């Protein structure tokens, strides 16, 4: 019986509880002391006092405390009220309150005391004679000399005084050819204009007009511009007055040079009190640039969400057929023979466009006229191809250098009216049928044989060549403006017998110059492919003959402006010499002919095909920027031709400039547009958009980094790409490909070219994000990007601080706050605050035990993106809404305290 008993449940307790409750409610009208078991008295008191509220007690003294305001919460339990008096250091009140509630309950011969955290509140000081029983109860949220109630607060913005942000007018990857007009939309409540800036890769010198007012002359190349680089000009502040709130018209009037812009933007930095600027979530409107000259537009559109409906309006004038293409889908094509207004409704567009394919995708846009050819490829390339007899060998069968009839047990032999090849020595047991060939080597007729075209599951080297060279032609013609020619070479002459040697009526073909066939340089892909497809194999190998003929063809048909290439392929060694290269051997002449071509500014590429190719000689023949390829198998042959075609495209590609010779002017007006509604992401509460730019990437890879600060989120992000004469074709964010132009086709010339490629916000992480963007002229010829590329993005700042942790008070403070624009102010929170406390955000001076101070500091931190102690948004006292909640019985506020009730005999 000496140990304390905690929360013991026993049926006998029921009678004690009933007795105590009845006594309390009946105002303790008991006139005789009942015998109470001391073992349960302590527990019963704890149980009743912890469940019965003060308001339920029928006691005049208690009612008086409630009436006088000494007790402020009648819903507190008796134990909580005892603890409250103790915490507020009201010792006498606590003792009297306890005495009034217990004296009539506890028999007079029992000792009794109540303690809080070991401190005695009240005691009936009788000596302990037999036994002492103690029961305890934990009460959260109280501590000595600490308040029994806590506070939490939140602060949110109902507006702003001002912010500095940017608005942009973007040019597409190529906009021309002629004078340009752009629309720039600004908020209606612009307070002032801070600065303006233009960055463009322009084709010539131009004058800038803002809302019809002259705003400066700008010279191409004078401000950092170059190949895939933009000129960068700060527009004089003298011209800031030319801007206005709402819609602005920006005119680029060219005065010399070419009339186009290959990417860029005009930026206006302004001060506004607008919370959300001009953005409307769920709605986008792409505005066509006005083009006065020849319509030649390469650009893009982007939808942040699933498109629900779309409308297109075109207002243009042309005497030629105009077309509009989104992605790889032609929306419109017509010759209006004058001015045309045309609207495409949502119902019409749904029949030609798959809206789901446009969701969160940068979609290339192309608008132009079909009669204006585009200057693109600038190459003349001649395929110089070995069609000697060995090209008819099966590709996977070992070849041999002695295919003449020199051995009765190994080589060609005549049997049953056909020539055969025995592939091993000894007694013949397995034979393969061959065609027997006679050819002249300059001194005598030679009798030999070669593979029969039937190779079982194998394929001849000639067939592989046809496939690979056809692919070369396809890649080169992916860029318009390129031409391809063909020279097939063998040896000087020969006689072919289709049956047996010494037949009296042979078929004779004579190629005095060693050239089997030529195809002049042509723009006609079908013609050159058809010629390749009918290629046949013949006799020996006059390599110098083929190169000399290709040089002759190029010299006679080439335009001085075009770049010149020879692509040589041979599967063996040169066997015939040339008079143009008077050397001692055919091999020396072959090498000399290649270098003679290079000395005439013709690049020579050399492909050694198969295991029997003369690789040592071929390696000496590539020159003037050409390369050598060792194509030992089918895959490598295909790869060689593909790589050469891609490199030629890269080296020779010129511009996307329209050829306007003889064309009547065409115009698209700047009121043309594409608008669409989309399903916007969930609206985020009380967010403030603010525009930013990363530094230029500064490398040609072109790669950079985007950092999203803590307590912010990205609303949008665009990666700029100066593609020059190429197309922006690939964007990778955090190792994920978010844009790939080849998704819309391998021929880039028929596709649009975005300058600003959007990153879906779902691909942007908090913290650091890696960015890589590249260009190309077709799907097989990827190139690097510009060092001027960067990310232009909008961050959402949290305009609220949610309820803070519960602390002891919520008085507020007078805050000194500095802003990024160099100004400072004092903000009282709440606005009625008249106390003496001074808080400083930049110095982090505030009371952490004040709920309002905590909430205000968090809000200010949200508005300080770079954590330099200065707010990026200007606010004042009236911009803040303050909510404070009083919290009681909060377990985490103070304590806990232990109340102990002791009863003894």
Mean pLDDT, all residues of the chain: 83
Residue 443 to residue 491: CA distance in whole angstroms: 13
Entry field: residues in the chain: 905
Alpha-helical (H) ranges within 57-90 are 60-68, 78-87
As a whole number, mean pLDDT of residues 429-456 equals 42
190 — pLDDT class (breaks 50, 70, 90):
very high
Cα–Cα distances in angstroms (integers) from residue 265 to residues 128, 288, 339, 672, in the given order: 93, 14, 29, 19
* Sequence-separated (6 or more) residues with CB below 8 Å from residue 856: 155, 801, 813, 815, 829, 839, 846, 880
The predicted pLDDT at position 344 comes to 96
Tokens of 883: 């909510």
699 DSSP assignment: S
The predicted pLDDT at position 259 comes to 92
453 in Cβ contact with 395 (< 8 Å): no
End-to-end CA distance of the chain: 12
As a whole number, mean pLDDT of residues 670-674 equals 96
* Sequence-separated (6 or more) residues with CB below 8 Å from residue 687: 713, 715, 796, 797, 798, 799
- Residue 780 has φ and ψ, to the nearest 5°, of -105, 0
The predicted pLDDT at position 893 comes to 57
- Max mean pLDDT among 33-37, 266-270, 505-509, 901-905 falls in 266-270
Interior CA angle at 410 toward 407 and 412, to 5°?
75
Condensed to tens digits (0 to 9), the pLDDT of residues 197-223 reads: 999 999 999 999 999 999 999 999 999
Cα–Cα distances in angstroms (integers) from residue 838 to residues 49, 705, 815, 844, 855, in the given order: 45, 40, 6, 11, 16
Neighbour-count burial of 527, counting CB atoms closer than 10 A to its CB (0-12 exposed, 13-18 middle, 19+ buried): middle
The predicted pLDDT at position 578 comes to 92
660 — pLDDT class (breaks 50, 70, 90):
low
Condensed to tens digits (0 to 9), the pLDDT of residues 366-417 reads: 999 886 655 556 799 999 999 888 787 665 544 333 333 333 333 444 333 4
Comparing C-alpha atoms, which of 903, 862, 885 is closest to residue 156?
A: 862
Compute how many other C-beta atoms are within 10 angstroms of the C-beta atom of residue 227: 9
The predicted pLDDT at position 396 comes to 52
The answer to whether residue 426 scores a pLDDT higher than 60 is no
Residue 312 to residue 326: CA distance in whole angstroms: 11
* Sequence-separated (6 or more) residues with CB below 8 Å from residue 237: 195
Secondary structure element (H or E) that encloses residue 119, with its range:
strand 119-124
The predicted pLDDT at position 180 comes to 97
The answer to whether residue 24 scores a pLDDT higher than 80 is no
Condensed to tens digits (0 to 9), the pLDDT of residues 704-743 reads: 999 999 889 999 999 999 998 889 999 999 999 999 999 9
- Residue 16 has φ and ψ, to the nearest 5°, of -65, -40
Residue with more model confidence, 891 or 2: 891
Condensed to tens digits (0 to 9), the pLDDT of residues 277-304 reads: 767 788 999 999 999 999 999 999 999 9
Pairing mode, if any, of strands 666-668 and 673-678?
unpaired
The helix/strand/coil state of 686 is coil
Condensed to tens digits (0 to 9), the pLDDT of residues 447-491 reads: 444 444 444 444 778 888 999 999 999 888 877 778 999 999 988
The predicted pLDDT at position 539 comes to 78
Residue 245 to residue 189: CA distance in whole angstroms: 7
Comparing C-alpha atoms, which of 583, 592, 584, 587 is closest to residue 575?
A: 587
Condensed to tens digits (0 to 9), the pLDDT of residues 750-808 reads: 899 999 999 999 999 999 999 999 998 878 777 889 999 999 999 999 998 888 778 87
The predicted pLDDT at position 250 comes to 97
The predicted pLDDT at position 408 comes to 34
Residue with more model confidence, 177 or 309: 309
552 DSSP assignment: H
The predicted pLDDT at position 174 comes to 94
Residue 168 to residue 265: CA distance in whole angstroms: 6
Residue 495 to residue 860: CA distance in whole angstroms: 94
298 in Cβ contact with 729 (< 8 Å): no
The answer to whether residue 35 scores a pLDDT higher than 80 is no
647 — pLDDT class (breaks 50, 70, 90):
confident
* Chain centre distance of CA 767: 15
Condensed to tens digits (0 to 9), the pLDDT of residues 574-604 reads: 999 998 998 879 999 999 999 999 999 999 9
* Sequence-separated (6 or more) residues with CB below 8 Å from residue 236: 215, 216
Name the percent of the chain lying above pLDDT 70. Answer: 82
């Amino acid at each position: 019986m000496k140990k304390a008993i905690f929360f013991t449940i026993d049926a006998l307790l029921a009678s004690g509880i009933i007795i105590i409750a009845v006594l309390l409610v009946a105002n303790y009208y008991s006139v005789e002391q009942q015998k109470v078991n001391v073992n349960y008295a302590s527990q019963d008191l704890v149980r009743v006092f912890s469940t019965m509220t003060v308001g339920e007690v029928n006691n005049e003294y208690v009612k008086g405390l409630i009436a006088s305001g000494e007790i402020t919460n009648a819903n507190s339990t008796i134990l909580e009220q005892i603890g409250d008096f103790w915490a507020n250091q009201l010792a006498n009140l606590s003792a009297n309150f306890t005495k009034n509630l217990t004296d009539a309950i506890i028999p007079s011969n029992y000792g009794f005391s109540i303690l809080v955290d070991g401190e005695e509140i009240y005691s009936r000081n009788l000596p302990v004679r037999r036994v002492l029983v103690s029961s305890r109860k934990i009460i959260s949220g109280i501590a000595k000399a600490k308040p029994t109630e806590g506070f939490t607060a939140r602060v949110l913005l109902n507006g702003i005084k001002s912010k500095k942000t940017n608005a942009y007018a973007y040019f597409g990857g190529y906009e021309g050819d002629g004078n340009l007009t752009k629309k720039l939309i600004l908020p209606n409540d612009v307070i002032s204009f801070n600065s303006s800036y233009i960055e463009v890769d322009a084709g010539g010198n131009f004058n800038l007009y803002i809302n019809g007012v002259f705003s400066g002359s700008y010279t191409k190349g004078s401000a950092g511009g170059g190949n895939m680089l933009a000129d960068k000009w700060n527009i004089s502040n003298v011209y800031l007055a030319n801007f206005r709130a709402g819609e602005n018209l920006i005119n680029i009037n060219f005065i010399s040079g070419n009339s186009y812009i290959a990417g860029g933007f005009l930026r206006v930095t302004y001060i506004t009190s607008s919370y959300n600027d001009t953005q409307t979530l769920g709605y986008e409107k792409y505005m066509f640039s006005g083009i006065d000259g020849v319509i030649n537009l390469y650009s893009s559109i982007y939808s942040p969400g699933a498109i629900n409906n779309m409308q297109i309006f075109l207002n243009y004038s042309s005497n030629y057929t105009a077309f509009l293409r989104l992605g790889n889908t032609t929306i419109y094509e017509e010759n209006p023979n004058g001015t045309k207004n045309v609207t495409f409704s949502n119902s019409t567009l749904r029949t030609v466009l798959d809206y789901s394919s446009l969701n969160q995708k940068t979609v290339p846009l192309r608008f132009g006229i079909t009669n204006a050819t585009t200057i693109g490829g600038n190459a003349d390339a001649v395929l110089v191809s070995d069609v000697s007899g060995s090209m008819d060998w099966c590709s996977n069968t070992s070849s041999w250098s002695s295919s003449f009839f020199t051995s009765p047990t190994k080589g060609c032999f005549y049997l049953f009216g056909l020539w055969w090849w025995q592939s091993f020595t000894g007694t013949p047991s397995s034979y393969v049928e061959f065609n027997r060939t006679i050819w002249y080597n300059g001194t005598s007729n030679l009798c030999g044989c070669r593979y029969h075209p039937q190779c079982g599951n194998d394929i001849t080297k000639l067939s592989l060549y046809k496939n690979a060279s056809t692919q070369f032609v396809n890649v080169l013609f992916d860029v318009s403006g390129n031409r391809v020619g063909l020279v097939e070479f063998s040896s000087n002459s020969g006689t072919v017998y289709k049956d047996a040697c010494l037949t009296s009526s042979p078929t004779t073909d004579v190629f005095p110059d060693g050239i089997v066939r030529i195809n002049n340089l042509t723009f006609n892909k079908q013609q050159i492919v058809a010629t390749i497809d009918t290629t046949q194999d013949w006799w020996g190998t006059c390599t110098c003959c083929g190169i000399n003929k290709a040089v002759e063809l190029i010299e006679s048909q080439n335009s001085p402006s075009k770049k010149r290439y020879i692509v040589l392929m041979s599967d063996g060694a040169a066997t015939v010499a040339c008079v143009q290269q008077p050397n001692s051997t055919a091999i020396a002449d072959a090498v000399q002919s290649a270098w003679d071509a290079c000395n005439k500014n013709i690049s020579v590429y050399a492909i050694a095909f198969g295991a029997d190719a003369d690789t040592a000689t071929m390696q000496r023949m590539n020159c003037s920027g050409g390369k050598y390829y060792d194509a030992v198998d089918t895959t490598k042959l295909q790869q060689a031709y593909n790589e050469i075609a891609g490199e030629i495209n890269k080296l020779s590609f010129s511009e996307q400039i329209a050829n306007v010779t003889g064309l009547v002017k065409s115009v698209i007006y700047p009121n043309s547009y594409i608008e669409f509604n989309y399903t916007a992401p969930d609206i985020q509460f009380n967010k403030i958009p603010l525009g930013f730019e990363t530094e230029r990437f500064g490398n040609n890879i072109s790669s950079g980094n985007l950092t999203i600060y803590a307590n912010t989120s990205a609303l949008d992000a665009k990666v700029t790409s100066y593609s020059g004469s190429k197309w922006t074709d690939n964007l990778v964010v955090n190792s994920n490909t978010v844009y790939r132009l080849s998704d819309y086709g391998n021929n880039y010339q028929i596709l649009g070219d975005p300058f600003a490629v959007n990153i879906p916000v779902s691909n942007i992480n908090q913290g650091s994000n890696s960015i890589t963007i590249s260009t190309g002229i077709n799907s097989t010829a990827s190139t690097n990007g510009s060092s001027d590329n960067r990310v232009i993005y909008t961050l959402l700042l949290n305009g609220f601080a949610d309820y803070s942790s519960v602390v002891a008070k919520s008085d507020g403070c007078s805050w000194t706050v500095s802003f990024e624009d160099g100004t400072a102010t004092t903000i009282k929170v709440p606005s009625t605050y008249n106390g003496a406390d001074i808080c400083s955000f930049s110095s982090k001076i505030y009371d952490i035990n004040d709920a309002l101070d905590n909430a205000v500091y968090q809000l200010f931190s949200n508005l300080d993106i770079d954590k330099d102690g200065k707010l990026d948004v200007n606010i004042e006292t009236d911009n803040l809404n303050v909510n404070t909640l009083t919290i009681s019985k909060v377990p985490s506020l103070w304590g806990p305290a232990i109340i102990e009730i002791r009863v003894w005999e």
